[in-house]
Amino acid sequence: MSDPIKLPVDPAQLVRRFDHPEIRAIVVMGSHARGDAGPWSDVDLVRFTANPDLALPDNGSYLIGDTLVVASTVAPAEVQAWFERPELAVIKIAGARRGRALLDRDGFFAQIQARAQAFEWDAAMQARANAWAGAQLVGWIEEVHKGLEGLRRNDVGRLLNARHGCSWGLSFVMQVQLGLLLDGDNSFYNALAAAIGPNDEWVRLRQIAFGVEGAAGTAPSLAEQVRAGLALYALTGERLAPALAPPERALVERTIEHIRAAGILLTPTL
């Protein structure tokens, strides 16, 4: 039996506050479930129901004492989607594996957790991940165009939109395509870098696109971040091209041509 979970709020109080007759389990996920919470970590409380049509109150964020508690409710269809949709699997499965139940009627969550422990990223899931990544790369073309136009005009609004798509957006594309299961979003930056290779050009470009200071302690300008992000889009498209369907591949390749035509090839090392 695992040790009792340590929380800044009395677990019994949480159960009383968020329980409902239709709830089958109340589970702590995130940093408190992993055991690496800090003084500012919220309590991520997930309630599971077997009723597909239930609309429960109390979802949202609450201050209980000085602790932020974020409560959500998950229905059966949502749980099933964790195991079928790659963009959900990479952010939900690892958390389910580490979840700590405060309440588990008839072992409802235990069954979900066992399924998560047994989950494997198989060929069918990889095919769905490839299709999802292709659609996302096409979707981020608009931000590429904003980046190119933003650089031409020195338009801060367009540059900020481009930076988001060519940093956060491309990071999630790669996480899903690689099938990298993460427990929480705080670890995505370092975990993805480790999975790809810390000295890889993709990782170097992403560091600049996010505006992270380099070894010399120099932070890139907004324009430098966007140039790096555009180069990152081109590199991502080239690497994922074999996995993309022909229509998406054609659009991505044409976008890469636009990026290269703008003279964006390499960015300086910071």
Q: Give me the domain span that covers residue 41.
A: 11-118
CATH number of the domain enclosing 82: 3.30.460.10
**Domain end among 57, 88, 118:** 118
* pLDDT interval class at 55 (50, 70, 90): confident
Query: Global pTM?
Result: 0.94
Give exposure, 180-216, as e/b (b: 16+ Cβ within 10 Å): bbbbbeeebbebbbebbeeeeebbbbbbbbbbeeeee
Pairing relationship of beta strands 67-74 and 60-64 according to DSSP bridges: antiparallel
Of 208 and 184, more confident:
208
pLDDT tens-digit readout, 11-50: 999 999 999 999 999 999 999 999 999 999 999 999 999 9
Alpha-carbon gap, residue 249 to 138, rounded angstroms: 9
Domain match, 145 and 73 both? no
3-class DSSP state for residue 219? Answer: coil
Q: How many domains does the chain have?
A: 2
Q: What is the pLDDT of residues 222-255, one digit of tens each?
A: 999 999 999 999 999 999 999 999 999 999 999 9
Helix (H) or strand (E) holding 12: helix 11-18
- Per the structure block, which two tokens stand in for 79? 């749980």
Does 53 score more than 90 pLDDT?
Answer: no
Q: What is the pLDDT of residue 36?
A: 92
Inside any domain, residue 253: yes
Domain contains 4 = no
Inside any domain, residue 268: no
**For 243, which DSSP code?**
G
Q: Is residue 178 part of a domain?
A: yes
